[in-house]
Structure 1
């Protein structure tokens, strides 16, 4: 088993993606995909727990860490991000499908990839944490507004209130001010306040400010188109939802309709906040290993 990560570069659409490999070279391949404003280092507590069993691949998404940072908003569309994922998967495991574990915007982009036709041949399983399929979210909201009940309206309002910060991310000057304000005390302090993460577990990435500001393009390029015009997106690969019941950004009940869209769905709720890959690394790793083992 390798403990030191081997770095390589995968080029897709002119974007250079920094890819890191460690773990058991004879194990099945699992690809870990981070969200905003993280890098592959998000998984630093989970990788060692998977490395004995799996060949573990992490990478910095476009706009983050050591990967290329596009300036134009259009480069951050879900279709581009899904294309990046498949480019990495094809480079590291061209002959076998990969398992996937993804968080936040990483989960959103893998949902996009999972609904594409090639998913059944390239993705062996997908474990999603705190990142919805935006089309499913749009359909969920629409269904509760067109046939309103008191509970449904309360849920939509609660999710809207939880996501209000995304409105500020659509306004360049305001988004910069908000990020500065949120991170003024440092990333560890923010995660402690927002997600009840022990600051001792957090290492602040040196590219955090750039990643956070450029990463707002994820919101600008995707939220309004997908939520206002949601597509029918069916997923035929095995999917595990790890739902953080204390997540203040992604409320757990919006996953209640996911089984309408996903043929093979497993759901596990854990009492965690948004950044559970840091605060609940043991639980995430164990649920992922058990789920993949159950598919054998």
Structure 2
């Protein structure tokens, strides 16, 4: 059954498209997609979890049916947190929620999870570190940090003027990134998802890596690292116990786009984690 669609409005007036998979009497799970995806990424996962939890997905600003602000500053992590809080108030105003996130969805969710009052009961993070944690990780200047920098080549590329946008519009970049994951990564995406989402990198990466904050959380975190991820190394994703002491680490076989390529495994990992920390999903 397809989800119902509604909208909520963030603090700066940006409209966020929200998708509700029903089961409102169950605990709420909010799924946050990454770049260059939109909320449709979560459809196969949500279909498998909808009997256990109240699944909510949303299009991050700049993607899908949400508004597409033109200013790069509108994509700062503080604005993304305001979007999440608007979705949270819309979907579960009175109860804490569980969060499942991937890629840039995980990066921004670390911002929410490490808030002073997160209103989050548990967090499953796939292929997405905190930028603040990454700033400290890269300061070690050791082999693991150098390996991650090599994996992060595309971030430097996204900071170039006009060329990345041209490459997406002409289709050159699609071929490169699809080859890295050996999949058709254009499914259910628009050119806006690709072009707008680069502002996430330009608004946040350099400031956070240069001046990282000591962001900590007691929320139960499951960090899931696919062993063949071409973009994010396992060390960067999982060497975070100093910041998240209530941490479980799972390394799985697979590539970066787990939610699309192995939704059954993602659903199983969410059930297991939430069962352990909240007693549901059995």
TM-score by length of 1: 0.89
Query: Secondary structure of 1:223's match?
Result: helix
Query: Secondary structure of 2:29's match?
Result: strand
Q: Does 1:11 align with 2:9?
A: yes
Query: Secondary structure of 1:41's match?
Result: helix
Q: Which residue of 2 aligns with 1:194?
A: 180
Structure 2 counterparts to residues 1-296 of structure 1, below 5 A: 3-12=1-10, 13-119=12-118, 122-142=119-139, 144-145=140-141, 153-179=142-168, 180-184=171-175, 190-191=177-178, 193-197=179-183, 199=184, 204-205=187-188, 207-295=189-277, 296=279
Query: Secondary structure of 2:240's match?
Result: helix
Whole-angstrom distance in 2 between the partners of 1:46 and 1:256: 23
Q: Structure 1 residue 160: deviation in Å?
A: 0.8
Query: Secondary structure of 1:57's match?
Result: strand
Larger strand percent:
1
Contact 1:23 1:50 in 2 (8 A): no
Query: Secondary structure of 1:227's match?
Result: helix
Whole-angstrom distance in 1 between the partners of 2:79 and 2:109: 11
CA deviation profile, 1:61-112 (whole Å, cap 9, x unmatched): 0000000000001000011101111110111101101101000111111100
Q: Structure 1 residue 253: deviation in Å?
A: 1.1
CA deviation profile, 1:159-207 (whole Å, cap 9, x unmatched): 111111111211231212343312159xxxx54x22244x5xx6722x5
CA shift in 2, pair 1:9/1:170, >3 Å = same
Contact 2:131 2:208 in 1 (8 A): yes
Higher mean alpha-carbon deviation, 154-163 vs 213-222, is at 154-163
Query: Secondary structure of 2:36's match?
Result: coil
For structure 2, the 5+ residue unaligned runs are: none
Whole-angstrom distance in 2 between the partners of 1:195 and 1:236: 34
CA shift in 2, pair 1:256/1:67, >3 Å = closer
Query: Secondary structure of 2:2's match?
Result: strand
RMSD: 1.5
TM-score by length of 2: 0.93
Q: Which residue of 2 aligns with 1:148?
A: none
CA shift in 2, pair 1:232/1:27, >3 Å = same
Contact 1:196 1:273 in 2 (8 A): no
Query: Secondary structure of 1:289's match?
Result: helix
